[in-house]
Each structure stands twice: as C-alpha cells, then as structure tokens.
Amino acid sequence: MFDFHVKLTDLISSKFGIEATGWWLRLAVDLILLLGLLVLAWLIYQVCCRVVTKTVTRWFEKSKNTWDDEFIESGIFKRLSRLIPALILWVWVPAGLRVSTLSHWAQILFTILLILMSLGVIFSALNTFLGLYGRREISREVPLQSISQTTKILLSIGACILILSTILGKSPALIFSGFGALTAILMLVFKDSILGLAAGLQLSSNRLIAVGDWIEVPKFGANGNVLELALTTVKVQNWDKTITTIPTYALISDSFKNWRGMSASGIRRIKRSININLETVRFLEEGEINNLAELPLLKDYITRKKEELTERRNTSSNPEKKHQLTNLGTYRAYLQAYLEAHAMVADDATQLVRQLQPTEKGLPIELYVFSKDNNWVEYENFQSDLMDHFIAILPEFDLRVHQDPTGYDFRESTS
C-alpha cells in the first residue's frame, strides 16, 4: 500500500511537474486512494451480496432440511457480506493515507463502522442459535430468549463504550470505570431489565413456565397459553384470543397457576356438586328397594346391603327403623357404581362421591373424579353429560335438587 502511494505520487508529480512534497498533492493522492478503496469495497460487497449470498441462499432454499432456513431468516449472510468490506476499509484506509488529520478521522470512522457491522453479525448469530434451539423440545421448558436479549443489551453497551473510546482516544477500561458514578441511574433505567433477567433465570432454571403452558395469573387477568417469554414481559394469549403482557418478575414475586401438570398427565379433574333438598331424604320402603334393585348398577349393592341389614336387625333391640336403606345413600351408591363403570373415567385416579356440610342451600353431594380426556371441549361435554344424568335420575330415588324460589314459584303458590 505504501509503495503504491509513492508510485502514484511520483506519477502525478512527473506528469504535471508538481513538487512531490507539497501537502495538497499528498491530500489529492490520499483522496484518490480513499475513493479507490471505497470503490473496491463496494465491488467486494456486490460480489459477496449478489453472488455468494444469493447462491448460498438458493442452495439452502432447495435443501430438504428445514433447520438451515434459520440462517436465511436471521440474515447472517447479508451482514457478513457487509462486514468483509468494512474490515478491508478498516485495515487499508488508515494505513494508506499520509495526511495525518484525514488518516485519523478515517480510522475513527471505519473503526465505528467495523464495530457496528460486527455487532450486527453477532446479533444474527444469536438469532440463528435461538431459531435452531427453538426447534428442540427442551426449548419449551428452558427458554433462552430472555438470556439472549440480555446478551444483546450487554453487547450494545460494550459497543457504545468502544465507539466512545475510539472517538475520545481513551482506553475502554477508563471509560467503563467512569460508569461507576452512573450506577444508580443505570439501575433505575434498567430496573425492569435487571428484574426480568433475574426472574427469567429462575423461571428457566426451575422450569416453572415454558412456551405453550396454560397459566392463570388472576392479578393481571391472564388465563391462557404462554406465547413468548421475553426479558421484561411474558405474553399470554387468553382464551378469548386477547393478549395479556405480564412483567416477568411478577411471576416470581406473585403466585400463578400452571396447568402443565394436568396437560402432561392426560387426565383432568371433575369436581362438581349437586345440592339435595333435605326434606326429600328418607328411608326406603321394601317395594322401593326391590324396584331399585332392578337397576343393573345397584343390583350387587342392594343384595349386599340386604344381607348386612338382616344381620344387624337380628342383633338389634329395635329392628324397625334403625337399620334401613335411605334413598340418599342408595343414590350415592348409584353414582359411585356409574362412575366406576364409565369408560371415560380414569381408573387409576381418585374416584369419590361424598357428602359435604349441609347448608341453607341443601345437602351437597360432591363428585371428585378424573376424566381420561383432558381436551377442553371433550372434557366439558363429558362433565356436562355426567351432571345431566345424575340430575335426571334423582326422581328414581324420590329426591329433589334444592333451588331457591323464583317469581314463577310464588305465582304458582298463589294461583
């Protein structure tokens, strides 16, 4: 480069009879060299962008693999094609210029350009890594997006420090130490980012939440699937298709419900109750017992109970009323038998039919079972079918559901 500068100076000096040591001649030669290097860098960029990048892109597009699409979407090849000319200019321009002022500012300019181009390549590399990582199943449980965003912020701060040190001609370490006085301000400005980073690390390391999880956060009105785990926010798509954004650190400082365990288990709990009118609870007569025994689900139960009651009556001082079947107890036995025989009820999970504390609303009979299908639509349909049947079968046991009186009831009573 230096020999070329001398030859170009001698050529102009001899051809036009100009003194070779003139400052303006050196400036003219420097400008010619600078223009030539810019043209060379532009040509190299065109070759890299239009030939190499497009060829590689077409080859990836024709490939049967899908993972290589991440390289195209991240734009890493385009940014590499810009980095190569910037690197050439950074190396050759300051070394080839003889005018100190021009060389100094050219070095600053192309150093800044190289820093920015390098930062763009690193960002594209991080995006490519995230895209490839997102194709793996573990990315749902251990998302790295918040870590990637934090890395980009730190790299951007580092790039700003390098640019500032280049302009001022100071050591980066000296400039970095000066930020110590601004620590309080930086903590205030980047409070959400710092809290989000800490929360994101806890959520990821403990696998508390993952993309695709169904979560409930009542404080923020969120109830739906997690779309994105970012540095400062978590995006949740609610079941009504609205989007709720939650501060990441709020998932650590406050409680939330994650339905991942239910989804992974393949079953879902049904916990519903029927309030029985207490005035309808009574002992069954012999004829009623025989009629109910004709129900296949109650045949074994009533036979067994008859044997137990006969034995108790033989040993009891008052066998008339103390040991008899009740319509409510028989109804509970029917519900239990119905659930045990149903194909949609999970056999390896809890199956419970129980009484709760009586209230002014009646006597609650609670069902506590698990459906084999945890798909929302099928689950709700199955749950509704169970309750439909259990309410409709109540008259067979001479039971009624408790219901507060309405205007229609008062009208009927006065007519």
What is the mean predicted confidence (pLDDT) over 186-209? 72
**Model confidence at 115, in pLDDT bands (50, 70, 90)?**
confident
Note the pLDDT of residue 262: 87
Q: From CA 358, how far away is CA 350, in angstroms rounded?
A: 23
Tokens read off for 84: 């190569």
**Model confidence at 13, in pLDDT bands (50, 70, 90)?**
low
| Phi, then psi, of 312 in degrees rounded to 5 | -70, -40
Q: Does CATH place domain 204-265 in 2.30.30.60?
A: yes
Tokens read off for 217: 């956060």
**Better-scored residue on pLDDT, 156 or 187:** 156
Consecutive H or E run containing 348: none
Residue 344 has pLDDT above 80, yes or no: yes
Note the pLDDT of residue 180: 60
Q: Highest mean pLDDT: which of 6-15, 74-83, 225-234?
A: 225-234
Note the pLDDT of residue 99: 55
Share the mean pLDDT of the chain.
80
Q: Where would I find the H helices in 227-295?
A: 250-253, 260-265, 286-293
What is the mean predicted confidence (pLDDT) over 300-307? 88
Residue 14 has pLDDT above 70, yes or no: no
Residue 376 has pLDDT above 50, yes or no: yes
Cβ neighbours of residue 5 closer than 8 Å, sequence gap 6 or more: 29, 33, 96, 98
Minimum mean pLDDT range among 196-205, 263-272, 293-302, 400-409: 196-205
Under DSSP, the state recorded for 365 is: E
What is the mean predicted confidence (pLDDT) over 48-60? 71
Asked whether 340 and 316 are in contact (CB, 8 A), the reply is: no
**Better-scored residue on pLDDT, 279 or 22:** 279
Burial of 397 (0-12, 13-18, 19+ CB in 10 A): buried
**Better-scored residue on pLDDT, 94 or 309:** 309
Q: From CA 73, how far away is CA 23, in angstroms rounded?
A: 50
Domain ranges in the chain are 2-135, 204-265, 268-282+326-413
3-state secondary structure of 173: helix
**Model confidence at 331, in pLDDT bands (50, 70, 90)?**
very high
Cβ neighbours of residue 261 closer than 8 Å, sequence gap 6 or more: none
Which whole-number Å values give the CA distances from 177 to 153, 171, 173, 214, 312, in the listed order? 18, 10, 6, 45, 90
Consecutive H or E run containing 357: none
Tokens read off for 206: 């403990």
What is the mean predicted confidence (pLDDT) over 231-253? 88
pTM of the predicted model, to two decimals? 0.57
**Model confidence at 2, in pLDDT bands (50, 70, 90)?**
very low
Under DSSP, the state recorded for 44 is: H
Residue 8 has pLDDT above 60, yes or no: no
Residue 21 has pLDDT above 60, yes or no: no
**Model confidence at 1, in pLDDT bands (50, 70, 90)?**
very low
What is the CB-side half-sphere exposure of residue 207 using CA atoms within 13 A?
A: 7
Quote the percentage of the chain above a pLDDT of 70: 75
Q: Highest mean pLDDT: which of 7-11, 175-179, 288-292, 353-357?
A: 353-357
How does strand 352-355 pair with strand 243-247?
unpaired
Note the pLDDT of residue 26: 60
Minimum mean pLDDT range among 17-31, 235-249, 327-341: 17-31
**Model confidence at 269, in pLDDT bands (50, 70, 90)?**
very high
Residue 55 has pLDDT above 90, yes or no: no
Q: From CA 124, how far away is CA 140, in angstroms rounded?
A: 22
Q: May I ask the CATH architecture of the domain 268-282+326-413?
A: 2-Layer Sandwich (3.30)
Minimum mean pLDDT range among 92-106, 128-142, 222-236, 369-383: 92-106
Asked whether 298 and 402 are in contact (CB, 8 A), the reply is: no
